[in-house]
Amino acid sequence: MRALGERALEMVIHHFATRRDLPPATTITKSDAAARLHTELPEEATPPEQLLDLLAREVFPNAFHADHPRFYAFVPSPTNFVSAVADFLVSGHNLFAGHWLASSAASQIELTVLEWLCTLCGMPAGSSGIFVSGGSMANLSAIVTAREVKMGAHDARAVVYCSDQTHSSLFKALRVLGFARDQRRLIATDASLRLSVPALRAAIEADLAAGRRPLCVVANAGTTNTGAIDPLHEVADLCAEHDVWMHVDGAYGAAAALTPRGRALLDGIERADSITLDPHKWLFQPYELGCLLVRDPRHLVHAFHVGDDDHADYLADVARHVQANVNFYDRGIQLTRSAKAIKLWLSLRAFGLPAFREAIESGFLQAEHAERVLRASPSWEILTPAQMGIITFRYRHADLSPADLDAVTAWAVDRMRLEGRALIMSTMLGERPALRLCTIHPAGTLDDVERSLAQLHGFLEAEAALLQTPLD
Ligand SMILES: Cc1ncc(COP(=O)(O)O)c(C=O)c1O
């Protein structure tokens, strides 16, 4: 155990020490992957050291490193070593965190961390929640809860509202839960890509007039595309007026509530009935860690409680010994679940809040620096300014049509991924691709941002020149 553990520890330390020098994103082909890794069923034992070597050689390098300081694509996942240690400890002790009887102390830790997050979001005393695998599960659990609390059963007249910038996980959740396409309303956004409240009001009123049942509004607290925050107070007012559940998808952005400026930007989030927050995004935790915060945890129990009708016969003793009403299997979908909260608890306590605040603030500062650099050159057009650690922009070239610019952008993004020192990818804004940086790695520097943009610019210029070169 010791030899294997020390080997594994060395590998992880090496990764943390050298990740800045690795290529941020490597992908191999299917045939290559199969040649290196596929075997028949292992009837024979292999020394585990040999297998660790195989993992070190073939698996860990051939990946996207979302914890790389110059990984600016999607939502990066900068992690920390203390939380990685927690993951090892928790799986080494294999804590079952499904109910109080089995995991009283770990349940207390989960409750405590949930209370911290609710407090940081400004939610009232008594708010709580549950840790889940990530934003997708949290959003799904929120819709289940809204439906159970507001309607008690599925109703084909129910309608869910969200902006056209909402993350795809919500639409997947609605599909899983049996909502038809005509039970969702995609509300237009304004020029800043924030949900238009007049359009939301009009949609709710039209649905009411048509005999539909407005169930839930999902507001964004930091969209994945641009970091936009929907007008949370106005959404809350409208939800209160029509007795509609307010869910905030803050999977990406809600963690910014730890900082004074993030808290100010997120003003109104505290009025939500439920909030999705992903610590495996801007709270520097290894996958998988998301959570659903609710202003009234009884709502979760109402939605997920396993009762006598559910034939949970062998859980009867467990149910008898529940304390403070907390059996986490009664707050969510999973029965068997790991003690996920421990890594966040350990790192928050080990580093202290100020270190987290500084790390989050660095995400804001890097995106703002990117904006300054981009504005200083005529080669760039800013599409959305730095907000919540995200900026979107486009390459400009007087001699290229929009279609050619889009093609050049796609080629340069590919070259950046294959040869670049940073991972920068694109998203779609409206009908056209946009370049995008999400700069939340606290080990990322302003110099990293400048040099990465310079390299991207070089690739774009080279691709543009190639496009303009006559074939003969
Ligand atoms: C705003 C938002 N919501 C939900 C999700 C889904 O979260 P997960 O990938 O953790 O399931 C994401 C993921 O990027 C996101 O950015």
pLDDT tens digit sequence for 354-400: 999 999 999 999 999 999 999 999 999 999 999 999 999 999 999 99
Residue 136 Cβ contacting ligand 1 at under 6 Å: yes
Assess whether the region 86-351 and the region 354-468 belong to the same CATH fold.
no
Whether pLDDT at 310 is above 90? no
Predicted confidence band at 221 (pLDDT cuts at 50, 70, 90)? very high
What is the topology classification, in CATH, of domain 354-468?
Aspartate Aminotransferase, domain 1 (3.90.1150)
Q: Is 230 in the pocket of ligand 1 (CB under 6 A)?
A: no
The CA distances from residue 122 to 226, 330, 357, in Å, are 24, 25, 16
pLDDT class for 346, splitting at 50, 70, 90?
very high
User: Domain 86-351 maps to which CATH number in 3.40.1160.10, 3.40.640.10, 3.30.420.40, 3.40.50.150?
Assistant: 3.40.640.10
d(CA 399, CA 422) in angstroms, rounded, equals 27
Residue 321, pLDDT score: 78
**CA of 224 relative to ligand 1 center, distance in Å:** 8
State pTM to two decimals.
0.97
pLDDT digits (tens, 9 = 90+) for 136-172: 999 999 999 999 999 998 999 999 999 999 999 999 9
Closest listed residue to residue 262, CA positions, set 283, 289, 290: 283
Question: Residue 86: its pLDDT value, please?
Answer: 98
CA distance 450 to 370: 7
Kindly tell me if the per-residue pLDDT of 24 is higher than 80: yes
- Residue of minimum CA distance from atom 5 in ligand 1: 135
Distance from residue 309's CA to the centre of ligand 1 (Å): 34
74: CA distance to ligand 1 center in Å? 10
**Is a pLDDT exceeding 90 seen at residue 325?**
no
- Report whether residue 251 contacts ligand 1, using a CB cutoff of 6 Å: yes
Q: How far apart are CA 361 and CA 365, in angstroms?
A: 6
Residue 123 CB burial class (10 angstroms; 0-12, 13-18, ≥19): buried
pLDDT of residue 176: 98
CA distance linking residue 259 with residue 352, whole number of Å? 13
Closest-CA residue, ligand 1 atom 7, reads: 135
Q: What is the C-alpha separation between 460 and 464, in angstroms, rounded?
A: 6
Paired strand residues for 277: 250, 291
User: What does the pLDDT read at residue 436?
Assistant: 98
Band of pLDDT at residue 338, cut at 50, 70 and 90: very high
CA-nearest residue, atom 8 of ligand 1: 135
200 Cβ partners below 8 Å, 6+ apart? 161, 187, 217, 235, 238
Our CA angle for 430, 436, 439, nearest 5°, is 145
Q: What are the sequence ranges of the domains in the chain?
A: 2-66, 86-351, 354-468
